[in-house]
């Protein structure tokens, strides 16, 4: 491992940076799209089954197939990889947001309405905070998915730690395979840990004490 770091240390840092760049923006897009959509679908239950079903279908498509489909439309590089990974991040975030907000105690919603809160105030001040642990669980799961699947982005020239893994497979060099696989695993674990801390910070105090 020391020899690997001496040989590929600077390149490893570049690949980690590329991997984080692709993963971060894919996950960010997933959160920006799926969280508001999940909240909106709690107001339109018939549409909810359609959109969640569509996201489930997209989730079943092999990630390599989605990456391949991006090439004729968006070409190669980081942007099509981000779009493909964004598609994969949608389901856990959308589903958890929908279920989390939908399952908020109706009595609390009625109390908020009785206090004169508008629908938007109810969502921001009552429903989303109470659903935050469930929403964050979906985001954490989406983050782990994205970081793991970002290794495949190297197939369309997006870079990242997948370059080490696939070069190692092609050249039968175990050190290159491990040099890509170990950092990906550590990144996924670290991201999940940090998002877990964020989940605790964002959750209402009484929900934190229940854990």
**How do residues 4-39 score in pLDDT, each as one tens digit?**
777 777 888 999 999 999 999 999 999 999 999 999
Averaged pLDDT score across all residues of the chain: 86
Please say if the pLDDT value at position 3 is more than 80: no
Q: What does the pLDDT look like over 83-111, one tens digit per residue?
A: 889 988 888 999 999 999 998 888 888 88
Q: What does the pLDDT look like over 162-171, one tens digit per residue?
A: 888 888 888 8
Position 153 scores a pLDDT of: 85
| Measured distance CA(68)–CA(82) in Å, rounded | 13
Position 46 scores a pLDDT of: 82
Position 39 scores a pLDDT of: 92
Q: Which two tokens stand for residue 159?
A: 């870079």
Position 209 scores a pLDDT of: 52
The neighbour count for residue 150, using CB atoms within 10 Å, is 32
Position 210 scores a pLDDT of: 55
| Measured distance CA(151)–CA(113) in Å, rounded | 47
**3-class DSSP state for residue 116?**
coil
Residue range 127-153: average pLDDT? 91
Position 23 scores a pLDDT of: 94
**What separation in angstroms does the CA of 140 have from each of 50, 74, 78, 197, 204?**
24, 28, 22, 11, 18
Return the residue matching tokens 């801390």. Answer: 197
Indicate the helix (H) or strand (E) that contains 55. helix 45-60
Our CA angle for 97, 84, 194, nearest 5°, is 50
Please say if the pLDDT value at position 2 is more than 80: no
What's the number of CA atoms in the CB half-sphere (13 Å) around residue 123?
Answer: 14
Position 184 scores a pLDDT of: 94
Q: What does the pLDDT look like over 35-72, one tens digit per residue?
A: 999 999 988 878 888 888 888 887 777 777 777 777 88
Range 203-207, long-range pairs (CB < 8 A, 24+ positions) = 203/129, 203/132, 203/133, 203/136, 204/129, 204/130, 204/132, 207/130, 207/132, 207/133
Please say if the pLDDT value at position 140 is more than 90: yes
**What separation in angstroms does the CA of 30 have from each of 103, 135, 162, 165, 192?**
22, 12, 22, 26, 16
| Measured distance CA(1)–CA(193) in Å, rounded | 25
- Nearest Cα residue to 149 out of 158, 164, 138, 162: 162
| Measured distance CA(128)–CA(125) in Å, rounded | 7
Domain 16-210 has CATH 1.10.3720.10: yes
Q: Which two tokens stand for residue 196?
A: 């877990």
- 13 by Cβ neighbours in 10 Å (0-12 / 13-18 / 19+) ranks as exposed
């Amino acid at each position: 491992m020391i020899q690997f770091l001496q040989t590929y240390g600077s390149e490893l840092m570049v690949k980690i940076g590329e991997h984080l760049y692709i993963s971060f923006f894919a996950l960010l897009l997933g959160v920006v799209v799926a969280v508001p959509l999940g909240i909106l679908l709690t107001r339109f239950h018939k549409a909810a089954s359609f959109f969640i079903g569509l996201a489930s279908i997209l989730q079943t498509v092999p990630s390599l197939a989605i990456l391949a489909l991006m090439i004729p439309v968006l070409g190669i590089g980081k942007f099509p990889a981000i779009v493909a990974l964004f598609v994969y991040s949608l389901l856990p975030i959308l589903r958890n947001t929908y279920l989390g907000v939908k399952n908020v105690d109706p009595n609390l919603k009625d109390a908020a309405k009785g206090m004169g809160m508008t629908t938007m105030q109810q969502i921001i001040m009552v429903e989303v905070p109470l659903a935050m642990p469930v929403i964050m669980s979906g985001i954490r799961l989406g983050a782990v998915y994205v970081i793991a699947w970002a290794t495949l982005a190297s197939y369309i020239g997006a870079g990242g730690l997948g370059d080490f893994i696939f070069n190692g497979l092609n050249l039968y060099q175990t050190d290159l395979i491990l040099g890509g696989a170990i950092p990906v695993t550590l990144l996924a674990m670290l991201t999940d840990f940090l998002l877990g801390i964020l989940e605790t910070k964002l959750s209402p105090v009484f929900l934190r004490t229940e854990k």
